[in-house]
């Protein structure tokens, strides 16, 4: 798909982008292979036909809601309290 395909395909573009970032070809190739494997798995699991546009649409995660941010803050505060208590135990 990268070396023998004379056309332009998104996997080749992904590979070339990773090489342009400074990775050698043998470290850029797993990114392309993983993307292809994910797309094949999805097609087989959901019995969907392969769609290039759908496969390479933006995969950025949605921003967290206000409740998720507050929940994360509470969990972090709790963990810091536990770590602080543990450190006080060690010092004593």
Distance CA 76, CA 92 (A): 24
The C-alpha atoms of residue 79 and residue 76 are separated, in whole angstroms, by 5
Q: Which residue has the higher pLDDT, 2 or 88?
A: 88
Per-residue pLDDT tens digits for 36-65? 999 999 899 989 898 877 887 765 455 667
Which whole number is the average pLDDT over 15-42?
Answer: 92
Average pLDDT, the chain: 83
Q: Which pLDDT value is given to residue 60? A: 47
């Amino acid at each position: 798909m990268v070396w023998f395909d004379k056309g332009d395909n998104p996997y080749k573009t992904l590979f070339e982008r990773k090489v342009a970032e400074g990775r050698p070809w043998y470290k850029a190739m797993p990114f392309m292979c993983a993307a292809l494997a994910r797309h094949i798995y999805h097609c087989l699991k959901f019995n969907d036909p392969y769609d290039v546009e759908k496969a390479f649409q933006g995969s950025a995660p949605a921003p967290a809601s206000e409740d998720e941010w507050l929940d994360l803050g509470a969990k972090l505060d709790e963990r810091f309290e536990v770590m602080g208590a543990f450190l006080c135990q060690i010092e004593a």
